Amino acid sequence: MDSSTLVSVSDGWVRTTTLTDTATLDPLHDEPTPPRFRRRGRITMWVSGAWLLFIVFSAVGASFLPYVNHSCDQFENEDLCTTHVETNPLLAERPPSWALFSETSRPVVGDAPERFGLFGTDTNGYDLFSRTMFGARNSLLIGALSISFGILIGGMLGLVAGYMGKRVDKIIDTIMNILLAFPALLLAIFIVGFFDSSTTTEAESRSIVPIVIALVILSIPPIARLVRANTIVFAQREFVLAARSLGAKNSRIIMREILPNVMPAMVTFAITGMAILIVAEGALAYLGLSVTAPTPTWGAMIFGGQTKLETAWWISIMPSIILFVTVLAINLLGDALSEKFRIREAIG
Amino acid sequence: MKYFLRKLGQLVIVVFAVTFTVSLALGAIPYAEERIIAAKGSGAINEEEKNKLLDSLNLREPTLVQYGYFVGDLVTLDWGVTLNGNQPISSSISDGLKISLRLMIYGQLVALLLAIPAAVFAAYRSGGLFDRFSTTFSFGFISTPNYVLATVLGLLLTVRWKLFPAISTDVGFFEAPWDHFTNFFLPTIVLALPLAGTYMRLLRSDLINTLQSDFITTARAKGVSTPRILFGHALRPSLFSLVTAAAVNVGALVGGSVVVETAFNLNGLGRRTVLGIFASEFRLVQITVVVLALVYVMTNFLVDILYGFLDPRVRVGRLG
Amino acid sequence: MSTLQTAFRRRTGTLLRVEDLVTHFVTAGGVVRAVDGVTFSLDHGKRLGVVGESGCGKTILARSIMGLLPHRNVIRQGSVLFEGTELTTMSLKDRQKIWGAEMAMIFQDPMTSLNPVMKIGKQLAEPLRIHLGSSRENARAIVLKLLEDVGIPEPEKRFDQYAHELSGGMRQRIMIAMALACGPSVLFADEPTTALDVTVQAQILDLIEDQCREREMALVLVTHDLGVVAGHTDQIIVMYAGKIIEVAPTASLFSKMKMPYTEALFQSIPKLEDPSHTRLTAIGGRPPNLILPPEGCRFSPRCPYATDKCRTIEPELQAAEPDHLYACHHPVGSDRWSEVQVSLGRRPGGH
Amino acid sequence: MAGSGHAHLRDGALLSVRDLVVEFPVGRTGLKVNAVSGISFDAQKGETLGIVGESGCGKSTTGRAIMQIPRPKSGDVTFDGQSLTQADSETIRRLRTNIQMIFQDPISSLNPRRSVRDIVLEPLNIWSVGTKEERLARVNKVLEDVGIDPAVAADRRPYQFSGGQCQRISIARALVLQPKMIICDEPVSALDVSVQAQVLNLLEDLKRDYSLTLMFIAHDLAVVKNISDRVVVMYLGKLCEIAPSDDLYRAPAHHYTNVLLSSIPVADPTVTIAKHRAQGEPPSPVLPPPGCRFHPRCPAATDRCRTEEPEIREVAPNHFLACHHPIHGGEAPVKVRNT
């Protein structure tokens, strides 16, 4: 065959660039994205990634990382040593050491410092920084577990509904509609309350299981819908038809032809979904319905400090900031990834 | 018309499924009877009263009969009274709904008023200074959980600067406009900002797509001015996702403003339900959930009709 | 330039003069040289065809002349004189006064070129209301007349319909009516029939031709189809990789084509006169990347007659006849051309 | 013209389609698209059968219905002596490998997330053909045959190729199971003319080398004529005319064929074609006209055409037609050289 076709494959073809006449045109503004914008996107991506790495690392290693689990060397008085487990009434409600504008609301006793640590201390004298990192453990774990199961179940439902269509699609869609009709947070509250084995109000140590189940159920309908919509788009592409004419079975087509194409949307959604679920867990905790002692989650910490806003603002505000920054980082990362996939899609 | 009937059919199925699940949920709750009796004040009532109470809940009937009674009570508005305090459940729900609806409407309005102009301008100059500025802010808003926002605003505006009352009370607009404003301002903002962020991003990306379509080039080639292209030609076909999101949020807001209601001590429907769950007021919770589901389903039904107005193609069922 | 005045103006002489027009796009992959120095002129009432394969810059040329390009990441140089007025430096506000009134454009896909959520009548009336300040009733009357002119049955009924309720041909007729509304002096038709069926294509081309004649309107017909330009233009521009490589009156282009590319394009089309299974003469390779166009003649990598000279020195446009220009070192009929023809076993001369 | 009847069917054909009917529901409106309404045709071994018609005439649907994607509403498809319409789904899965398809959109035909090698290897993996080495060797051979250098291209993804090259890769995928027949559904209409010629030439070469039978579906009459031995003209789900391609173009007997031929713009300004224009546009296949489906647009329609559906009959040797009032002594649309 003509060799020039092959030559042009190998020599310097920057991506596709069979510039169709209309491809580069778009009337009121410009796309493809200008280089400057994309570089900026990459920086946010790295910064967000680094922050998340730091949080995950601290959360996982909270019990032995020196900067989380303070060694007691810095204090002459052993009593002043605070870790996540020990209460220290001497250190109760101390503002962060940098907060020189904020006065301590409790009298200073003995050689206890007036201000303490990066984040200050809470009512029990726990170091808030340590608490926040221990809290990250539960918050992140709940978020990650819930979104994983959500993606697994919702993704499967969406793939099947989108590919099979017709009656299967109708049934799944109706179930999702019914799930959506229940007010989300109330549904979660109900489920958590339902699994609460204690008969009345005494909240004993509640495990993360009911919370994860509630959040999974919340996350299924949107994931299923997203995956379904994407599946329909790809199921109509001719390579699926080609696969069928080659004798591929439905399961093979779903797994090999459609799933890899739906994956980017799923990954992006999983990331932003995790942010939403971490926030939702916080809301549950805020209402007193999440994991209880010994280690709290971010939501519980924020709620716990609520009554102290006037005297010790940091108890609520410091974990709020960490939660905000983490959620922001997750969202930015998700957006950067979807942008990346979108560009690749446009090329493909 | 067919489209209308089909949507109506879906509505009926969903309402049936919701009421059915809700009516049965009571039977599935562990120790439901004990909890109810405890809530009523266990020691204070005798066996006879207990039995009467439990009989009135139809817990011992077969499933379908239970459902029948439940629907019957729902339809005849025979909702009973709360276990604690003997307030009629209907008045408790309508009081709560009044507050929640107010919050929802204010929140949605503020969110849309912020989001639409910002999205249009950002899409028009996408990649420009305003776009980047507003995108950054919308990400900030989206990433702020409402309990965090409530805490921070509460600290600054009510605790530090005392601009607003720390605890909101439900004051009617016509009774005391200024108090009404100060009481609802913070809760509205806390609800609206994260919504506005979401709406802005949705509308912006849809608008960017619309602005790339051929019919916009056609409009330009006709000599249509830029504002007219943006608002006259591009906005309406770009509203789909926004309308969908707003509809989903109606449901989420009426019941899901629990957090905001808790933070500002507003006795809305969401807060009443949460307190109801804690207090084992199962009847109240059941009926509230049905009412909320109805609100959600109805708004979605209306939005489906609105789609037909937004895009005439939906009416023939090409997109629906 | 009031449109009413133009309606009575004598339409002769040069309407449009494009000089050394350059349109580049700055993309993430590099600068795309979509239009790279194009010069031509168009007289009042004449019909010009612009032909080339996809990606040759023909659509962008048309939009660049009108000024209908994105305002960022575009490099546009050169000059476009329309009735003696420079368009490239004109403000957006002033251009909007010309768009639709003096220059109109129709597009390839009538399915997507009409606003899906706006009634046909309103879309058609828009240019009248903007440019002529017509009242609602007045505009409606003109629109109904226009719909009749472009051969749409039951105009009253169409007025309140939406685009999706009409067939493809009907929509393209609507687009044409919309373009004609204010009586422009030039119509840019960008692949107006590519998305249509062949029987409908014939109807639409007839319609465009009739309307141009009736309204003494100039036409720029952009297409990839040599057949379409052959029957419907006075003059043809052949574009390749952002450049004009041949310009000639329609008749002489087909009878005396000079460019090997034009020749190859012509020969690669299957023809109805030829018996079944006639071997087609394909052009090897594919159109060049406009970010890194080949050195010398841009067609040289695919040209059977190319020599080292072609690969290094870019040929200038030269005149075969006063109105027939081409840009080639070894045009059809040259010694090199005959030599290669013989070696390929074809009979030199004629097609 | 709504051509019914079997006068044109031949014995011993490789593919035989009888009374094929395909219908789709229109959304949930209860209406249906009469995409294909009882057509019959056949293809002999080694033949190239062209199917031509405007959009919505059911030509692509016919191709897919032969593959049983989706299964037709009624009618018989027999391939190589075996009925596809009566086979169970597992048998169809196996039989499908004898007939392969290539599609219009070269980009959409290839999974963007797989490499070229993977794409062409997939059919062999599905059917576990040979050892891994044998499969790879076969993939390389087929890629070479369609003009793609496996060493350079096999690890790349579809977006790195132009439309013409993607179409070659699609052809390679269709060929790798060594089918007896390939259904080409508008394989060149998305390509530029220069590339279109390359692909048409390639198909001719491969047909010879792989002893294939081709079914070539397209809307471009000149392209169909160039590649086909026998051409079927379809209109609104029915057959109009079937004839050897040179005969059909020399002497069209059906008014629709005549209109089609005279509508093609000819790349020669000195030629004027007598303007046989159809009135209006093809009606919707949801509510096809009664009688001959072309009658509302036909210049020669009579009352008979409005009520009675014409049967397929032979008007000249091997030239079949469904029309009450054929063009007598059929002539090609008059082309006049001006000078």
The structural domain count of chain B equals 2
Same domain, B167 and B257: yes
pLDDT at A155 > cutoff 90: yes
Output C113 or B164, whichever has higher pLDDT.
Answer: C113
Q: What sign for the dihedral angle of Cα D280, D281, D282, D288?
A: negative
DSSP output for C65-118: HHT-S-SSSEEEEEEEEETTEE-TT--HHHHHHHBTTTEEEE-S-HHHHS-TTS
Please state the rounded mean pLDDT for residues C320-341.
89
Check if B224 contacts C (Cβ < 8 Å).
yes
Residue B116 has pLDDT above 90, yes or no: yes
Q: Which of A7, A236, A246, A344 is the best mutation test for D, with the most CBs of D within 10 A?
A: A246
Nearest Cβ partner for D111 among A15, A244, A257? A257
Interchain proximity C283–D263, CB inside 8 Å: no
User: Residues C271-290: pLDDT tens digits?
Assistant: 888 888 888 888 887 788 88
**Same domain (yes/no): B115, B63:** no
Neighbours of chain B (3+ CB pairs under 8 A): A, C, D
Would you say B214 and C107 are in contact if contact means Cβ atoms under 8 Å apart?
Answer: yes
| Residue B41 shares a structural domain with residue B177 | no
- Residues B155, B249 within the same domain: yes
Q: Are residues B100 and B198 in the same domain?
A: yes
Residue A4 tokens, joined: 């020039």
Average pLDDT, chain B: 80
pLDDT, residue A293, reads 54
> DSSP code of C200?
H
Cβ density class B81-95: b for 16+ within 10 Å, e for less: ebbeeeeebeebbeb
pLDDT band at C11 (very low <50, low <70, confident <90, very high): low
d(CA D35, CA D55): 11
- Per-residue pLDDT at A161 exceeds 90: yes
In a domain, D139, yes or no: no
State how far the Cα of D136 lies from the Cα of D157, in Å rounded to an integer. Answer: 17
User: Out of B21-25, C16-20, D105-109, which region has the weakest mean confidence (pLDDT)?
Assistant: B21-25
The token duo for A260 is 């890899």
The confidence score (pLDDT) of residue A146 equals 93
Judge whether B118 lies within some domain: yes
- Nearest chain C residue to B233, by CA: C115
pLDDT at B160 over 80: no
Q: Report d(CA A198, CA D106) in Å as an integer.
A: 63
Question: Residue D250 class from Cβ within 10 Å (0-12 exposed, 13-18 middle, 19+ buried)?
Answer: middle
* 8 Å CB contact between B296 and B251: yes
For residue A75, pLDDT beyond 60: no
- Torsion angle in degrees (nearest 10) through CA of A51, A54, A57, A62: -120
Sheet holding D238-244, edge to edge: D99-102, D181-185, D213-218, D48-52, D230-235, D238-244, D319-321, D313-316
List, for residues D301-324, the tens digit of each pLDDT value.
888 888 888 888 888 888 888 888
Judge whether residue C182 has pLDDT over 50.
Answer: yes
Residue B242 covered by a domain: yes
Strands D213-218 and D48-52: parallel
Residue D286, chain C, CB below 8 Å: the answer is no
Domain annotation covers residue D294: yes
Task: Supply the pLDDT for residue B21.
Answer: 82
Report the candidate in B50, B39, B181 with the shortest Cα–Cα distance to residue B106.
Answer: B181
Q: Which residues of C touch B311 (CB under 8 A)?
A: 116-117
- A324 vs B127, B148, B296: nearest CB: B148
pLDDT in tens, A188-225: 777 776 666 544 444 445 677 888 888 898 889 989 98
Within a domain: residue B30?
yes
Q: Which CATH number is B114's domain given?
A: 1.10.3720.10
pLDDT at A259: 93
pLDDT for the residue D300 = 83
Name which residue leads in pLDDT, C350 or C15.
C15
Its domain, for residue B41, covers 2-75
Residue B300 inside a domain? The answer is: no
What is the amino acid identity at position B287? I
Q: What are residue D99's DSSP bridge partners?
A: D181
Q: Which two tokens stand for residue A320?
A: 């709020």
Q: What is the CA radius of gyration of chain B?
A: 24
Q: pLDDT category, A347, cuts 50, 70, 90?
A: very low
Mean pLDDT of B30-52: 67
Kindly list the residues from chain B whose CB atom is less than 8 angstroms away from the CB atom of residue C179. 221
Q: Which domain range does residue D304 map to?
A: 15-98+182-192+212-337
Q: Are strands C243-249 and D48-52 parallel, antiparallel or unpaired?
A: unpaired
The span from the CA of C236 to the CA of B92, in Å, is 80
Give the integer Cα–Cα distance in Å for C24 and C31: 6
pLDDT, average across residues A49-74: 78
State residue D86's pLDDT score. Answer: 87
Tell me the nearest-neighbour CA distance from D297 into chain A, angstroms. 33
pLDDT the model gives residue A13:
25
Query: Are the CB atoms for D105 and D111 separated by under 8 Å?
Result: no
Contact D17, D76 (CB under 8 A): yes
Q: List the domains of chain A with CATH numbers.
A: 143-340 (1.10.3720.10)
In the three-class reduction of DSSP (H, G, I as helix; E, B as strand; rest coil), residue C49 is classed as strand
CB-based contact, B215 to chain C, within 8 Å: yes
B206 and B173 housed in the same domain: yes
**Which band of pLDDT confidence, cut at 50, 70 and 90, is reported for residue C1?**
very low
B6 lies in the same domain as B101: no
d(CA B271, CA B284): 12
Is C284's CB within 8 Å of A5's CB? yes
Return the pLDDT at A38: 52
D108 located within any domain: no
Please state the ipTM of this predicted complex: 0.82
Name the residue among B222, B226, B236 with its Cβ closest to that of C127.
Answer: B222
CB within 8 Å: A34 and C57: no
- pLDDT of A348 above 60: no
Please report the pLDDT score of residue A25 as a whole number.
31
In a domain, B82, yes or no: no
In this prediction, residue D231 has a pLDDT band, given cuts at 50, 70 and 90, of very high
Q: Is residue D159 part of a domain?
A: no
Average pLDDT over residues D200-218: 92
H-helix or E-strand spanning residue D56? none
**In three state form, how does the secondary structure of chain A look?**
CCHHHHHHHHCCCCCCCCCCCCCCCCCCCCCCCCHHHHHHHHHHHHHHHHHHHHHHHHHHCCCCCCCCCCCHHHCCCHHHCCCCCCCCHHHCCCCCCCCCCCCCCCCCCCCCCCCCCCCCECCCCCEHHHHHHHHHHHHHHHHHHHHHHHHHHHHHHHHHHHHHCHHHHHHHHHHHHHHHHCCHHHHHHHHHHHHCCCCCCCCCCCCHHHHHHHHHHHHHHHHHHHHHHHHHHHHCCHHHHHHHHCCCCHHHHHHHHHHHHHHHHHHHHHHHHHHHHHHHHHHHHHCCCCCCCCCCCHHHHHHHCHHHCCCCCHHHHHHHHHHHHHHHHHHHHHHHHHHHHHHHHHHC
**What ranges in chain C are assigned the alpha helix state H?**
3-8, 58-66, 92-98, 110-113, 120-127, 136-149, 155-159, 168-180, 198-214, 226-232, 250-255, 260-268, 308-312, 335-343
Nearest CB to C283; choose among D165, D194, D204: D194
Same domain, B225 and B138: yes
CB D283 within 8 A of CB D200: no
Using pLDDT thresholds of 50, 70 and 90, give the confidence band for residue D2: very low
Section A299-310 average pLDDT: 82
Confidence of residue C5 (pLDDT cuts 50, 70, 90): very low
CA distance from start to end of chain C: 48
Range of lowest pLDDT (A3-7, C138-142, C264-268, D177-181): A3-7
Q: Residue D314 falls within a domain, yes or no?
A: yes
Q: What is the CATH number of the domain that holds D264?
A: 3.40.50.300
Least confident piece of the model among A186-195, D48-57, D237-246: A186-195
pLDDT value at residue D297: 87
CA-CA distance, A206 to A187, in Å (whole number)?
18
Q: Does a structural domain hold residue B306?
A: no
A52, C60 contact by CB (below 8 A): no
Q: C-alpha distances in angstroms, A132 versus A129, A143, A320? A: 5, 16, 10
Please give the pLDDT value at position C351: 45
Q: Taken in order C324, C326, C329, C335, is the CA torsion positive or negative?
A: negative
Strand order of the sheet with strand C74-82? Answer: C30-43, C14-27, C74-82, C85-86
C-alpha closest to that of D79 among D70, D68, A243, D59: D68
Q: Chain B within 8 Å of A60 (Cβ-Cβ)? A: no
Say whether B262 sits in a helix, a strand or coil: helix
Quick check: is D199 in a domain? Answer: no
Q: Which of C74, C24, C50 is nearest to C232 (CA)?
A: C50
Q: Are residues B139 and B59 in the same domain?
A: no
Partner chains of D (3+ C-beta pairs under 8 Å): A, B, C
Per-residue pLDDT band at A10 (split at 50, 70, 90): very low
Distances in Å between the Cα of C263 and the Cα atoms of C226, C252, C255, C323, D225 are 11, 13, 11, 18, 22
List Cβ neighbours of D71 (8 Å cut-off, separation of 6 or more).
Answer: D65, D85
Is B293 contained in some domain?
no
What's the total number of domains in chain D? 1
Given a cut of 80, is residue B4 above it in pLDDT? no
Strand-pair category, D213-218 with D181-185: parallel
Provide the sign of the torsion angle of the four alpha carbons D200, D206, D207, D209, taken in this order.
Answer: positive
Any idea what the Cα angle at residue A46 is, between residues A43 and A50, rounded to 5°?
140
Point out which residues pair with C220 in neighbouring strands.
C48, C188
Residue of D nearest to C281 (CA): D197
User: Is A31 near chain B, with CB under 8 Å?
Assistant: yes
Examine the pLDDT at D28 and tell me if it is beyond 80: no
The confidence score (pLDDT) of residue B312 equals: 77
Q: Is residue D51 part of a domain?
A: yes
Percent of chain D with pLDDT over 90: 28
**pLDDT top residue among D294 and D3:** D294
Q: Which residue has the tokens 């057959």?
A: D239
B60 plus B175 within the same structural domain:
no
Look up residue A245 and give its amino acid: S
**A171 exposure class (CB count in 10 Å sphere: 0-12, 13-18, 19+):** exposed
Helix (H, G, I), strand (E, B) or coil at C222: strand
Query: Are the C-beta atoms of residues C174 and C185 closer than 8 Å to each other?
Result: no
The answer to whether residue B156 neighbours chain A at the CB level (below 8 Å) is no
Sequence-ordered list of residues with C-beta below 8 angstroms from that of D97, at least 6 positions apart, any chain = A246, A247, D123, D127, D177, D179
Q: What is the mean pLDDT of chain D?
A: 86
pLDDT in tens, B81-94: 777 667 788 888 88
State the pLDDT at residue A3.
26
Q: Cβ of B217 and C99 within 8 Å? A: no
How far is C-alpha D64 from the chain's CA centre? 10
Same domain for B195 and B275?
yes
What average pLDDT does the structure give for chain A?
A: 75
- Split at pLDDT 50, 70, 90, the class of D168 is very high
B253 with B166, same domain? yes
Confidence band (pLDDT; 50, 70, 90) for D339? very low
Confidence of residue B114 (pLDDT cuts 50, 70, 90): very high
